[in-house]
Every structure is written in structure tokens, then in C-alpha cells.
Amino acid sequence: MKAADVTKLTKAQAAKELEKLRAEMAAADEAYHVKDAPEITDAEYDALRRRLESIEARFPELAEARPVAPAPAGAFAKVAHGRPMLSLDNAFYQEDVERFAQSVRNFFVRPEDVARVERDAIRLVAEPKIDGLSCSLTYEKGVLVKAATRGDGAIGEDVTQNVRTIAEIPQKLKGKAPERIEIRGEVYMTKPEFLKLNEKLEAEFLALPPEKQTKNRRRQFANPRNAAAGSVRQLDPEITRSRPLRFFAYAWGAASAEPESQWEFYDRLKDWGFKVNPLARLVTGVDGALKRYAAIAEQRADLAYDIDGVVYKIDEVSLQARLGFVGRTPRWAIAHKFPAEQARTLLESIEIQVGRTGALTPVAYLKPVNVGGVLVARATLHNEDEIQRKDVRVGDTVVIQRAGDVIPQVVSVVLDERPKNAKPFRFPETCPECGSAAVRAEGEVVRRCTGGLVCPAQAVERLRLFVSRDAFDIEGLGEKSIIEFFKDGLVKMPGDLFRLKAGDLKDREGWKEKSIQNLLAAIEARRTIALDRFIFALGIRQVGQATAKLLAKNYGTLENWKAAMVAASDPESEAYATLTAIDQIGPSVAEDLIAFFAEEHNRTVVDDLTHEVTAEAFVAPSATGSPIADKTVVFTGTLEKMTRNEAKARAEALGAKVAGSVSKRTDYLIVGSDAGSKADKARALGVATLSEDEWLALIGG
Ligand code: IVH
């Protein structure tokens, strides 16, 4: 299906799609990094990311900071939720709330049901939507036995030990407790406590000796929600205990007995010793709900904790049960979101930050201002186009906003207050960290530094990739050592690793004779390496393992590949045509490969590395004696006896290269039914064409 034009999306559609994209990317990340079994290609992943970025650029208020996760994935045991933990549909405008009420109304037919859910009669519980981390607490005979995070809704993480340290969560329910019940609610941190925690973390960091003040030890949280989530996901429960966490209860999961109404259930919660949000009210009709929304909105900035909307829940539990769910959201509840909190302040300067992937991000430095209870001194300007579109200039008074879990953003400029001499901002075309060219690929909003392996902002990340398991697989070199070696100038680029001597490591904290010998041996063992690993290890954008394999296979040797990539910089060249003719390598990947080699720094890194390492020429597996070994084949039209994918896999297994389009280098074009222009082109170029049966005969059936 073709994705809708981003400029035509409504905010609600954008929110929905973003949620879907985030879920897909998270699944892909997990498959790639955790399970080590990629499920989508690098190009597909990139397409998801690009789509996400362009939607976030149009609706900055829906953008989400990538969550910080202090404990690595897999650090906690998995817990399957007795009932899935769902999310809520969002309403942004009054019309959305009306539509929600309409759909509830339309769900029923019997007059006695309809009467209970009419627009002006429906009973709803309206309460703040807390911006924290949802948690499920299981009580057996009134005793807390398990606490779990939401996770993906079906499976969460077991954080029982940590949650036991939160004073607002009862260890034992007061009064009469059911046999078994799962209580759900939000763990959160207040804004003042969050700020105090950040100050404390910063002070602890500054108290470290200078050589230990590495980036990864600096752990400030972006907002109260991240602080709460990060504090719950600690490996040491004592750290969780030291964090000011709180809890509001608002729902139940699996239970031995169902309550009758949401509102009465809140009385039970209070009896048992939970805090229920004091702003929750039982209201009647849509008007009652909207009135409550306005009242809560008015108090929002004065509340000690962040809220991002008001949740309406149908009070009658029997109606909830009948309405049920659509996908991952209940039909009986909705979150009416608040607009982001805004303030005006002076923009003092614009600095360009270079991220670990080389993305150049403009950051606005502001005269500090209080936005909904949090002091804001910096805000993101997203990208080049955003600055231009909003015409943001240094010296301007700007409107900024903080939307929940998002880094504050610059929304607009107050033109009336622009100083006369304010000049349009010129976005740099070179990287402020390393001076390499910073380029913007066609169709992308982000400008990126091409200095990958030499740019200090990216070097640590690149070196980490370089030594990782799928690349050079050098054991014994963790992030901490890489950062230290880099800072001390010991390892600036990959080739430096191969020049390390025992003397360089001796006397370093944490390094003993044995570990030094082990590391040097691990490095020595990689002086010869498969070409595809070599290519992958360079960390070229969009060149993941699969693409690296394709390149190795198509170019055979490092020398060939390098020469071809340099030659391909001319889009009219045969080298360019050959590169883009490789199946699954399109113009976008080609552009990144060319940009990499266009940067002298990168060529230096590769050349330097070749002095230390031998990349083995690619050997096609099991291709000896194959009639199509080393041949380049192209498929076109519909095959009858097997799918295109199977045909490709067979061809590759027999040592052929499968290309996506016909060129002079094509050896065979295999023509299925309904073939199009490729067959004409093959004829014009004098390329041999085979029918499916002829092809099968050639490869032996
Ligand atoms: S009710 C079936 N009530 O919002 C849905 N959720 O988008 C049950 N949240 O994952 C949730 N405050 O973490 C509910 N007063 C509140 C809430 C609340 C915050 C969170 C919760 C949930 C998310 C849904």
C-alpha cells in the first residue's frame, strides 16, 4: 500500500501512524540487536525511519524522544500479563470526543441500553492522564507478589524487587482483599523532585575524578517520565529506593471478582491503601466531561506532576465489557489530550549538535524560562527546513513548548519583537565537529556528517560497530575502553587498533597482563577477514550486513569494490549503472556509498586499514562446477514454477549474482509471462534471454 502524503495527514492519523511506525521499528530493532536475526532489510528500516522523521517534522508536538533505558533489554525476567495492558485512543478536539460518544451510542440497539449511553446521559469517570510509566501489581490474598511493566502490552518486565521500594505502593492491602487481583496504575515523579534528582545526578557526576567523567556516566533525565521509567528499570533496587517515585492507581487487570463500576472501584482502591488521583470525578454526559476537562486544564500548570490529558472511562463495568476492544484500545475509554504547554522567551544562539549517527541537529539556546513547571534553557529546532520554514533567527523572541515526553521545541517566532539587525540563519554545510562535508540526501530532511570514522561525535559509535560481533568481532573491547582509548588518542580510527602494543595498555586502570594479552590476540586473529564483514564494519549509512554481502559478492575483492565506488561518483558512468543494477541497491544506497568514498577522511581510514588487514576475496558458496557461477542474471515477468524469491535464492546458491535491471554486464535474462521492457532492452543489448523452462534446464531442474 502506498503511504499517504504526509502533508495531507490529519493530526489524529499522524498520531496513529507514528505509533505503528514506532512499534514496527522497535520490533525490527529487537530482531536485529537482541535476537540477532534481522527481519527487514536495511533499506526497509530506513524507509520506516524516514517516514517517521517526516511525520514528526510536520507534527513536532507528536515527536518522541527515544526513550532512555538504563538497564539493557533482557535484564529483567519476562512476565505475561493476565490480561493485555492496552493503550488509549486519543482525542485532540471536542469533535473527537463527540465522535467517541457517537460510536459508543451506535454500538447499542436495545432502547434500555441506548438510554444509558445517550450523549447527555452517559456516566463517565474523568481523570487526569498521568505522564509516567504504567505498572501492573498482582496481589494474592492481599499480598503484593508481582510487579510488571507494560512492555509491549502482552509481555512486560518483572520489576517486583524495585517496585517493593516504592512507599506509595502497598505491600499488603488494607481491609478485605479479594483472593487475587491485578491493580494497574502509573508510577510517576513530581516535577520538583525530578529537577532535584537531576541536580543530584549532575553533582555526583562532577564529583568524579576528571578521567571518569565520561559521557556514559552523565545520566540526567530529559523529563519526569523518563526519570520514573529509568528509576524503575534499575538493576539495583537500592537505587530505585533512593528515587522519589509515586503511584496513582486507576484500573484492574485479571481479578477473581469484577467490580461493578469504575467509580466504586476507586473507593475500593482507597480502602486498600492506594492513592487515586484527587481530580477524578464522576460526570454525566459529554458536556460534563468537557467541563471537567476545562477545569483540570486550568489547574495543570500548578500541579506538581505532568499530565497530558484527561481520560474518560465509561463508569458501568458491564457496558465496558460489552463494548470491548478494537485492536489495542478499548471502545469504552478515550484520552482527551491537552495542547502542549507553551511560553515565550529570547533565543540567544543556535548551535549545531552532531549525533552519534552523524545527524546535524540545530539546537536553540534560550534565556531560561518556566514552561509548565519545568525550567527550559534549550529547545530543538529539528532540522534545516524547520528553521527556514519558521524563519527562526538569533535574537528572536520565540514561542516554545514542552509536550509530555518530548524535548522542548521552538513553535514559532514573535515577529513583532524581532530586532532590526537579526539575520537569517545559515545552516552549515560542513560538520562543526570534524569539518567533513555534511550532506543532505535527496528526499531527506536531515543533513549528515560524512566523516563517520573520523568525526569525534561519531567515532566512538563507529568503533563500537567496527569491533562488534557481526563486524570484526574483537572481544574484550567494551564501550568504556573505546571511549578512553579515543579520548587519549590511542585509537582514533580502526587501523589504530592493529597498532596497539602491550605497552600502551599496561598501567591502565582495569587492564591486567592477562586481559591485555587476550585483547591483542583477539585483534591479531582478525588480520584476515571476509570482505563482507570488512565492508559492514565501515558503518556506511544504509549498508547493513545484507547490503555488505551483496557488495562483496558483486565486486569480489576490496580493490575492485573501492575502485568502483570511487568511479561511481559520476552518475553517467558505467560504474554507477552497475552499482544501481544490483538487485536491492537503489539510488539512495548508492548515494550513501558514493558520499562515503567522496570524503577524503574516509578513504584515508580505509587505506590505512588495508595496510593492517587483508580482506579475503569473496568466494561464492558451493558454486564450483555450477553453470551459472559468477554469471549475472536478471528475472522479469511472472514465473510459473517458483516464486521470484525462491528463484533468486536458487540462483545465488549456485554462485550467480542476481541484478534488478538489465545492463551490458547481464549474462542471462530469464523471462516469465507478462514480461515488460526488460526483455526489449536485453534484445537491444544482445543479452541472452531464457524462458523459465530453459533456465531450469540450465541449472539442472
Ligand atoms: S486507563 C484500557 N487511566 O495511558 C486502558 N491510563 O494510552 C487503561 N495512563 O498505558 C488505561 N493515566 O499508562 C488510564 N488515568 C489513567 C491514566 C492512564 C495515564 C496511561 C497508561 C496507559 C496509557 C494509555
Question: pLDDT tens for residues 342-363?
Answer: 899 999 999 999 887 789 999 9
Q: What's the CATH code of the domain at 602?
A: 1.10.150.20
- One domain for residues 272 and 408: no
C-alpha cell at 231: 528509576
Nearest to 411 by CA among 347, 505, 316, 479: 347
Ligand 1 atom 2 nearest Cα:
86
Q: What sign does the dihedral 413-414-415-418 (CA atoms) show?
A: negative
Give the containing element (helix H, strand E) for 439. strand 438-440
Number of other CB atoms surrounding residue 382 within 10 Å: 23
Q: Is residue 285 part of a domain?
A: yes
Of 381 and 5, more confident: 381
pLDDT band at 555 (very low <50, low <70, confident <90, very high): very high
Ligand 1 atom 16 nearest Cα:
129
**485 CA to centre of ligand 1 in angstroms:** 46
**544 CA to centre of ligand 1 in angstroms:** 38
CA–CA separation, 614 and 162 (whole Å): 50
- One domain for residues 306 and 209: yes
Question: Are the C-beta atoms of residues 587 and 594 closer than 8 Å to each other?
Answer: no
306: left (phi over 0), alpha (psi -120 to 50) or beta: beta
Number of other CB atoms surrounding residue 643 within 10 Å: 10
* Cβ of residue 133 lying under 6 Å from some atom of ligand 1: no
- One domain for residues 347 and 323: no
Nearest to 642 by CA among 693, 584, 585: 693
Torsion of CA 607, 612, 614, 615, to 10 degrees: -50
Amino acid, res. 531:
L
The DSSP symbol for 511 reads -
pLDDT of residue 658: 87
Report the atom number in ligand 1 closest to the C-alpha of 127. Answer: 15
Structural domain total, the chain:
5
Ligand 1 atom 10 nearest Cα:
87
Number of other CB atoms surrounding residue 394 within 10 Å: 16
Residue 32 φ/ψ, nearest 5 degrees: -75, -50
- One domain for residues 157 and 282: yes
Nearest to 82 by CA among 142, 140, 128, 164: 140
**Average pLDDT score over residue span 232-247:** 93
CA–CA separation, 305 and 130 (whole Å): 8
Domain with 413 in it:
342-424
* Cβ of residue 306 lying under 6 Å from some atom of ligand 1: no
CA–CA separation, 638 and 634 (whole Å): 13
Give the containing element (helix H, strand E) for 641. none
C-alpha cell at 576: 554507477
pLDDT digits (tens, 9 = 90+) for 61-113: 677 644 333 466 678 999 999 899 989 999 999 999 999 999 999 999 999 99
Report the atom number in ligand 1 closest to the C-alpha of 150. Answer: 10
* Cβ of residue 458 lying under 6 Å from some atom of ligand 1: no
* Cβ of residue 405 lying under 6 Å from some atom of ligand 1: no
- One domain for residues 117 and 206: yes
Q: Is residue 201 part of a domain?
A: yes
**327 CA to centre of ligand 1 in angstroms:** 16
Q: What's the CATH code of the domain at 274?
A: 3.30.470.30
Nearest to 362 by CA among 397, 401, 396, 388: 388
Question: Are the C-beta atoms of residues 689 and 634 closer than 8 Å to each other?
Answer: no
Question: Are the C-beta atoms of residues 210 and 476 closer than 8 Å to each other?
Answer: no
- One domain for residues 302 and 350: no
**482 CA to centre of ligand 1 in angstroms:** 41
- Only one residue has cell 563507529, namely 462
pLDDT band at 8 (very low <50, low <70, confident <90, very high): confident
pLDDT of residue 631: 87
Does the predicted TM-score (pTM) go above 0.85?
no
List of residues 6+ apart from 342 with CB closer than 8 A: 371, 399, 400, 401, 411
* Cβ of residue 404 lying under 6 Å from some atom of ligand 1: no
Report the atom number in ligand 1 closest to the C-alpha of 88. Answer: 7
Ligand 1 atom 23 nearest Cα:
87
pLDDT of residue 674: 84
- One domain for residues 43 and 160: no
Domain boundary among 404, 424, 444: 424
Q: Is residue 478 part of a domain?
A: no
Q: Is residue 490 part of a domain?
A: no
DSSP 3-state of 677 = helix
- One domain for residues 210 and 232: yes
pLDDT band at 509 (very low <50, low <70, confident <90, very high): confident
**Average pLDDT score over residue span 47-53:** 76
The DSSP symbol for 217 reads G
* Cβ of residue 376 lying under 6 Å from some atom of ligand 1: no
Per-residue HEC secondary structure of 607-634 comes to HHHHHHCEEECCCCCCCCCCCCCCCEEE
- Residue of 64, 186, 300 to test ligand 1 pocket, by largest number of atoms within 8 Å of CB: 186
pLDDT band at 31 (very low <50, low <70, confident <90, very high): low
Number of other CB atoms surrounding residue 423 within 10 Å: 8
- Only one residue has cell 577522511, namely 601
* Cβ of residue 127 lying under 6 Å from some atom of ligand 1: yes
List of residues 6+ apart from 691 with CB closer than 8 A: 670, 671
* Cβ of residue 156 lying under 6 Å from some atom of ligand 1: no
DSSP 3-state of 376 = strand
Q: Is residue 448 part of a domain?
A: no
Mean pLDDT value across the chain: 88
Ligand 1 atom 15 nearest Cα:
129
pLDDT of residue 41: 62
CA–CA separation, 387 and 173 (whole Å): 54
C-alpha cell at 670: 530469464
**23 CA to centre of ligand 1 in angstroms:** 18
CA–CA separation, 690 and 671 (whole Å): 6
DSSP 3-state of 279 = coil
Segments in 126-210 forming alpha helices (H): 160-163, 191-206
Q: Is residue 471 part of a domain?
A: no
The packing angle between helices 587-598 and 600-612, to 10°, is: 80
List of residues 6+ apart from 200 with CB closer than 8 A: none
Ligand 1 atom 12 nearest Cα:
129
Question: Are the C-beta atoms of residues 431 and 438 closer than 8 Å to each other?
Answer: yes
CA–CA separation, 558 and 581 (whole Å): 19
C-alpha cell at 431: 560538520
Q: What's the CATH code of the domain at 375?
A: 2.40.50.140
277: left (phi over 0), alpha (psi -120 to 50) or beta: beta
- Strands 632-636, 657-659: pairing kind: parallel
pLDDT digits (tens, 9 = 90+) for 147-167: 999 988 899 999 999 999 999
* Cβ of residue 186 lying under 6 Å from some atom of ligand 1: yes
Identified catalytic residue from 16, 78, 129, 631: 129
Question: Are the C-beta atoms of residues 208 and 217 closer than 8 Å to each other?
Answer: yes
- One domain for residues 29 and 178: no
CA–CA separation, 701 and 699 (whole Å): 6
Beta sheet of 632-636, edge-to-edge order: 657-659, 632-636, 668-671, 688-691
**128 CA to centre of ligand 1 in angstroms:** 9
CA–CA separation, 589 and 441 (whole Å): 10
Report the atom number in ligand 1 closest to the C-alpha of 329. Answer: 2
Nearest to 541 by CA among 46, 41, 30: 46
Contacts 24+ apart (CB under 8 A), 434-441: 434/601, 436/599, 436/601, 437/595, 437/598, 437/599, 438/360, 439/595, 440/384, 441/588, 441/591, 441/592, 441/595
CA–CA separation, 404 and 374 (whole Å): 11
* Cβ of residue 310 lying under 6 Å from some atom of ligand 1: no
Radius of gyration of the chain (CA): 30
Residue 579 has pLDDT above 90, yes or no: yes
Residue 609 φ/ψ, nearest 5 degrees: -65, -35
**299 CA to centre of ligand 1 in angstroms:** 20
- One domain for residues 169 and 248: yes
- One domain for residues 251 and 293: yes
* Cβ of residue 134 lying under 6 Å from some atom of ligand 1: yes
pLDDT of residue 69: 36
**Average pLDDT score over residue span 610-632:** 81
Ligand 1 atom 9 nearest Cα:
129
Distance of CA 625 to the CA centre of its chain: 46
Residue 82 φ/ψ, nearest 5 degrees: -60, -35
pLDDT band at 35 (very low <50, low <70, confident <90, very high): very low
pLDDT digits (tens, 9 = 90+) for 104-152: 999 999 999 999 999 999 999 999 999 999 999 999 999 999 999 998 8
Q: Is residue 622 part of a domain?
A: no
pLDDT of residue 66: 44
**88 CA to centre of ligand 1 in angstroms:** 7
- One domain for residues 219 and 201: yes
Nearest to 194 by CA among 353, 380, 71, 372: 372
Ligand 1 atom 6 nearest Cα:
129
The DSSP symbol for 598 reads H
Domain boundary among 372, 395, 424: 424
**230 CA to centre of ligand 1 in angstroms:** 19
Nearest to 550 by CA among 580, 527, 574, 577: 580
Lowest mean pLDDT among 440-444, 523-527, 692-696: 440-444
Residue 218 has pLDDT above 70, yes or no: no
* Cβ of residue 352 lying under 6 Å from some atom of ligand 1: no
Nearest to 363 by CA among 409, 330, 323: 409
The packing angle between helices 42-58 and 587-598, to 10°, is: 90
**331 CA to centre of ligand 1 in angstroms:** 14
Q: Is residue 172 part of a domain?
A: yes
129 catalytically annotated: yes
pLDDT of residue 406: 58
Please tell me the total number of residues recorded for the chain in this structure.
Answer: 701
Domain boundary among 396, 424, 452: 424
- Residue of 18, 88, 337 to test ligand 1 pocket, by largest number of atoms within 8 Å of CB: 88
The DSSP symbol for 673 reads B
pLDDT of residue 676: 81
